[in-house]
Structure 1
């Protein structure tokens, strides 16, 4: 078997070549939340290590992330040989939608997507992000949409439903649906308004809205350490379909 050689195709792509054939490639990509992810696909096992080494040598100062199926122990071991360690685990869920209207808890009102006051919505978003960052870190949330314009964390306010508790904006949910598929990308409640039924009301509203639109189920990703969020989604019949491990390599 001929030796694998590595060539750099461009700034973000490397190729592994053997017998004048491409046997693997490595790609770098910035996620919308700013994290830099590395993916490596190979058709010969001995191409993985040299590809990883070439990318790491070219980007020694970068924090690099990758995602691996939790059950893929062989692939995880390859990444660990390259200096990556598991930083978090994220469950992938499928949640059935509903066609009935859920009555919120007393004192909780839901503003459907596109109806919230935009300045109050933006202030709520900033406060929730600050609370999450101070507690468990925003990196534990699913990958976010890129802020646009710079410094603004809401790309499209029309996607957000809001929970109002005793007259104050308390929580928000972002749902994106396209071509019969839907994803619950974010559901969060201000710390001082938790355990009041706001999160349950937001999720129920989202699932009711999707069900009436003819969508049978929605996807969601939940950090495995977030037991409260997991319990909430499971109360609505969420079924885990898989689990990803996020691995990180930091500069030495």
Structure 2
């Protein structure tokens, strides 16, 4: 089990990033889990990385720990791709996907990107409405976000 402390969180104590299992990390603040990181291989061989944290600093530290563990690869891109915006079924229709997307787009914008691309399956009307609602437009058979 590897730990890495950093100051932030609910209390005045340092939040600890701990690798709790193969491809799983927790951010702990006084024994309270305040963030989780998980990676798993999809059936097509791609690696799916999930980081769940309420605070940006906790999210960043979990990403750093996963990067150090060799699970996240940072590459220079010409146009970023939004690979997946997903919300659990019981939590849908509450603005969570829009907030996730706004955060991702804000991060891209601050990093100097003016456009991104994504793929939306045509039958998924909610996803199409989400992306079109923020200014995305169809490009050939893909929906492309250009801002």
Counterpart position of 1:94: 123
Q: Does 1:3 align with 2:14?
A: yes
RMSD value over aligned CA atoms?
4.0
Which structure exhibits the higher relative contact order, with contacts defined as CA atoms closer than 8 Å and separated by 6 or more residues? Answer: 1
Change (3 A) 1:77 1:32: farther
Distance 1:57 1:79 in 2: 22
Stretches of structure 2 lacking an aligned partner (at least 5 in a row): 1-10, 76-81, 86-96, 126-136
Contact 2:34/2:54 (8 A) holds in 1: yes
Stretches of structure 1 lacking an aligned partner (at least 5 in a row): 97-223, 231-242, 246-252
Change (3 A) 1:48 1:36: same
| Displacement of 1:67 | 2.8
Distance 1:74 1:54 in 2: 21
Larger radius of gyration: 1
Cα displacement string for residues 103-155 of structure 1 (whole angstroms, at most 9, x for unaligned residues): xxxxxxxxxxxxxxxxxxxxxxxxxxxxxxxxxxxxxxxxxxxxxxxxxxxxx
Change (3 A) 1:53 1:77: farther
- How many residue pairs get aligned? The number is 102
Query: What is the DSSP-based 3-state SS (H/G/I as helix, E as strand, rest coil) of the residue aligned with 2:62?
Result: helix
Cα displacement string for residues 2-41 of structure 1 (whole angstroms, at most 9, x for unaligned residues): 3221000111111111121001101111122211121111
Q: Does 1:21 align with 2:50?
A: no
Change (3 A) 1:21 1:80: farther
Provide the TM-score with structure 2 as the length reference.
0.51
